Structure formats: C-alpha cells, structure tokens
Structure 1
C-alpha cells in the first residue's frame, strides 16, 4: 500500500526548472501559468514533448487533448474521379480506422463533383495511418490526401515539387490512369498521378500528370528515350514549363519603325494635300527640296540648296559618207549602236 502511495506522489510531483510542484496545491497551477505564459510556442512544444516522454500520464493527456480537436483527424482528399461518390470515398479510407464523417464535395449549381472531398476519422491514430499511405487508386484515378488544415498550401509549399511533377501529353484515349502509372512507375515511386478527364463526358482529354517522390525519378522519366505509350509518341516534360503560354515574338528595338518628323513639302500619310498630286499617278511631280543637314528641327522649314540654270548642249551633226547612209539622210539608224550602214 505504501508503494502505491509513493508512486502516486512521484507522479503528482513534476520537476520543472529544478523546482517541484505539487498538483494538489491550489496555487501551483497559477504559478505554472505565470511561468509558461512568456514562453514561445517552440519552447512549449519542446517542454511538453520532453515531459511526455518522461511521464506517461502527461503523454496520455497530450494525446487526449490533440485527438479531441478535429484538425488532427480531418483529411483533405484531392484528385477524385468525377463519378466517385461519398460511399466510394469512405470505403477506400475505411481500411485505416473508423470514420466519423466523409463526403465528396459537389458543385451547387451543376450538382457535379468538384474532384475533392474530406474524411474525418474518429481517432487520431487512424489519420496518421492514412497519411503514411497518402495515395489511393479510386475509380481509376490516383487520389492523394493530406491534413485538411494544410489544404493545397501544404502541397505547394514543398520546395522541390516543380522538379518532381511531370506533364504527360499526346495520350491516346485508351490510356487509363492505371496504364499511365504502371508505365511511369518503372522510373521510381509515384506520389500522385492521373489522366485528365472531361467533367461532362468523363473521357480522356489526351494528357495527364505524374508526380514522383524524388527528383531523380522525375529526371529519369524526362530523359528516357522510349516515350511510346498506347501506340503514340508521348510528350514528357516538367509541368511548370507547360503552364505558361509561349511568349510572343517582338521585333528588336533597332528595327521597330519609328515615325520621324517630316519637313515642309513632304506628303504625310492620312492627310490630303491640295497642291501636291498623288505620288505615282501624274507627272511631272514636285520634288521637295533637300534639307541642308542630316537633322531638321520639326519647327523649322528646311533650307534648300542653291539651284543652277540647266545646261543645254548643241546637237552634233553627222558626217556625210560619199556613198550615203541608208535611211534618213540626217540621222543614223536607231538600235544599231549609232553607226550607219554603207553600200558596197
């Protein structure tokens, strides 16, 4: 009897920072609160985990409090097939323990599945068991789960996800998710993967995604030269390179046409000129004067070069031959190089 009382007294007396606090004391709880209040979350977690490992009663209390909060028992399941029901979802996750609540989320307007759902276990241990095997093949698609409190942010927060997720294009309609996973499973363990299906027809859209657990496995799949599946040559590349549209090509700045200011006398597009006939329709044309320099201020009319009177040259008479040219007596035959013909 004395041993039982002694063991109970040892459990009730907890050593914190070198001090013993008796749980039966009325002021001990307030005193402990005053000591714990300024501590940070990380310090409290370290303290409770250390005490829980030393005292089984504290460990049981921690588990009881944590299990009472649904945040540790609720899973977010994504990647569901459009025809997956709540009953099918619960049946797939019931292998890990008793389910308190489970449902597929449907769109209110269309009444169709939104491709994800939630599972809430009755015990926290069941949730941990499900998280150790997060990928499940349900209705031909590989569904993945994580804690609901993390949501999609827990997935996107993985630093190397962009190097592990692949886009698979050019799939034939006969390729199912199971075929896709079996084909790419030769390169390494797959964390998530599925063929993309149309919501209305539930038919393959000709592409899918595969996420490996390691970057090395994803690199092997990309570098593999044998990319034939279902009788077609498929496309395998990192998924993040497929998200953005190809950039539009632009002209370099050096060859982009830039409108320059025109001097007086130059016809400008879009403006009618009463005194200037349309270029290419009448002759002669009024040729505008040249500017005096390579630069002309848009506000200053160009100064023309000084003009000179035209120079006229007298006609050169042809010398008469004793025999006489063929044709007109004063001109040489045209087209013969200017040389006349002679009779012999």
Structure 2
C-alpha cells in the first residue's frame, strides 16, 4: 500500500511539472502576437497588483545604462560638474555626472552627462527637459538619442529666434524672463565669448510652440534694456550671414574684335569702359596640318666680297697756312673725286 501511495505522489509531481511547462509555453504563444502597447499595459497592471513583479520590472529596466544616461547641452561656460549634478539630483540618486572639457584649452565644451541609478529617475528628469543652470537654459534628453531630441524637430526653424542688439548688461536669465511673456521656452541664452566670458551682444531663444515664436516676432515693442533689439528667425539670420560672405559675381567684358576674330588692343569695348590693352584668352578651333601653307624658305645668303685693306699713311706736320695733300686713290685721283667719263 505504501508503495502504491508513493508511486501516485511521484506521478502527481511529474504531472504538475509537466503542466507548469505546458502553461509557460502556452502563455508565450498567446503573448507573442501582442504588440508593445498591449504588453506594456498588461505588465503595468500586474506590477501594480504584485510588488514582486514590480521589483523585477524595475531591475530589468535599470540594468542597461542606456535608459538612465542623459545628455545635457546648452551649459554655461562656468558650469562645473558639481553644479550640474546639483541641478539634477532632485529627480533621484545620481550614479555619475560630469561636464565635458576641452583637452587642449581646459575649458568647458558646453555640455555634459548625467547617469542615474534608476531608470525612473531619468524619466522624471525628462519630464522637464529645460532647466535654468547658472543663469542659462539647458536642455536634456537621453544620451542614446544624441541631438535627435526635441530641439531637432522639423518645426525647429519656426521656433528658434535670433535676438540681436542686446546690451552688455543683459544676462541669460534676464533674456529668458523677458521673452517668457510670449510662451514656454525650451532653450535660450545670451552668446558669450569663450575667452573673456563677456556678452557678444546677441542670443537665441527657442520656444516650445510655433505660436509663441510668432508672438515674439510680431510684437511691435522691441525695447529691452534701454535698446531697440532685433527679433527674427534664427535660420533667416544665418542665411543672410552666409550670403554676405559670398564673392561678387563676375561680369563678362565685351572685347572688340577685329579681322580674324582677334582682340584689338587700345580700343574701348562696346558700351564704354576701359580700353583693351591686353590680349584676352581666345578659344582657337583646331585646324588640320594640311590646311596650313608650307613655311617660306629663307633666301640664300649673298656672296661675301673680299675686303681690301690699305696700309696706313703716316701723317706729316705741315707748316701753318698749308693744308695737307689729299690721299691718292686709284688712278691718281682722291677717293672722293672721280672724273666724268
């Protein structure tokens, strides 16, 4: 009897393990065709009902740092790693945080990274991506997204404004407070010189909506800090800056042509202008060698005549009042006198 009971218990345990394995495979087959939103909704309900499942979900989500690491850009040049961490510690425990510096100059490159210990802390920080750090509006997004966050949306060109003509006393915080009257600001700051840390007289403001940017542009009251400022789309300002550096267009000159199609030096072109004194490059059509005449043959040199040399006649000193006798040439006559034939 005891052997029979023992055998029945073993069979029951085997059936139980078999049923468990069968149930997991069966559930997987049911979950496989579900989409992501359906799975997320199902697991969120299970996690809210069973704390053990919630802890397991939390551990899986925080295992990969890609879900916990933030990229923070738009930092002020004087922002340090300590001030950066202090601005983000309200959302949870920070595992690592640092501002990136240039190796050659040792100065800040204007961005940094924050890595939280838990994923929910990173999600909480992303809920408010824009924050004021050292009087400058900084923006954060997941580091795995790089610059593909909110500031690179297709309508960014209609939301980012250029503000020129600023007084040197205007800070980034004053700039944001002034333009905050038109709508929520995503990012903005005054442009500062890296070496002197002084204002360059302009800045940028990026709104969260296109409507707020239009309000800032259309407002006729452009007096700020005792100066009349310039407010326009940042892309428009950039395109005009590029155009001012383009070289002047080349204007072709009309060259007067003479016979044979060659430029006539010294004559003014048609319509006035400076005279043409230098040859202009001409495009000459190639001709076959057979079309050219044979080059002229140089004439034969004339025969040379034998030169006759005469002996020098010593001069005699004649007394005053007498001219020397002319030299005698051929036939007894002077060389410059020949009798008529």
TM-score by length of 2: 0.64
Mapped pair 1:52 → 2:35: no
> Please, which moves more after superposition, 259-268 or 44-53?
259-268
- Structure 2 residue corresponding to 1:154, chosen from 140, 149, 158: 149
Preserved contact between residue 100 and residue 121 of structure 1 (Cα < 8 Å): yes
Q: Partners of 1:179 and 1:157 in 2: how far apart?
A: 25
From the superposition, tell whether residues 242 and 24 of structure 1 become closer, same or farther in structure 2 (CA, over 3 Å). Answer: farther
> Please, which moves more after superposition, 81-90 or 125-134?
125-134
> Please, which moves more after superposition, 237-246 or 52-61?
52-61
Matches within 5 A, 1:251-290: 257=252, 262-264=257-259, 268=263, 278=266
> Please, which moves more after superposition, 176-185 or 47-56?
47-56
Mapped pair 1:246 → 2:243: yes
Structure 2 runs not aligned, ≥5 long: 1-16, 269-284, 287-341
Aligned to 2:99: 104
Structure 1 runs not aligned, ≥5 long: 1-21, 272-277, 281-297, 300-344
Aligned to 2:216: 221
Q: CA deviation at 1:61?
A: 3.3
Aligned to 2:137: 142
Deviating beyond 6 angstroms after TM superposition, the runs of 4 or more aligned structure 1 residues are 30-37, 249-252
For the aligned residue pairs, the C-alpha RMSD in angstroms reads 3.3
Q: CA deviation at 1:264?
A: 1.3
Q: CA deviation at 1:23?
A: 9.9
SS in 2 for 1:133: coil
TM-score by length of 1: 0.63
When Rg is computed on C-alpha atoms for both structures, the one with the higher figure is 2
Q: Partners of 1:91 and 1:279 in 2: how far apart?
A: 79
Aligned to 2:322: none
Preserved contact between residue 256 and residue 263 of structure 2 (Cα < 8 Å): no
Q: Partners of 1:23 and 1:112 in 2: how far apart?
A: 65
Q: CA deviation at 1:222?
A: 0.3
From the superposition, tell whether residues 55 and 24 of structure 1 become closer, same or farther in structure 2 (CA, over 3 Å). Answer: farther
Aligned to 2:113: 118
Q: Partners of 2:18 and 2:67 in 1: how far apart?
A: 29
Preserved contact between residue 164 and residue 231 of structure 2 (Cα < 8 Å): yes
Aligned to 2:172: 177
Preserved contact between residue 166 and residue 236 of structure 1 (Cα < 8 Å): yes
C-alpha distance after superposition, 1:36-66 (max 9, x if no partner): 77x6xxx552342132144225555333211
- Structure 2 residue corresponding to 1:235, chosen from 230, 235, 238: 230
Mapped pair 1:166 → 2:161: yes
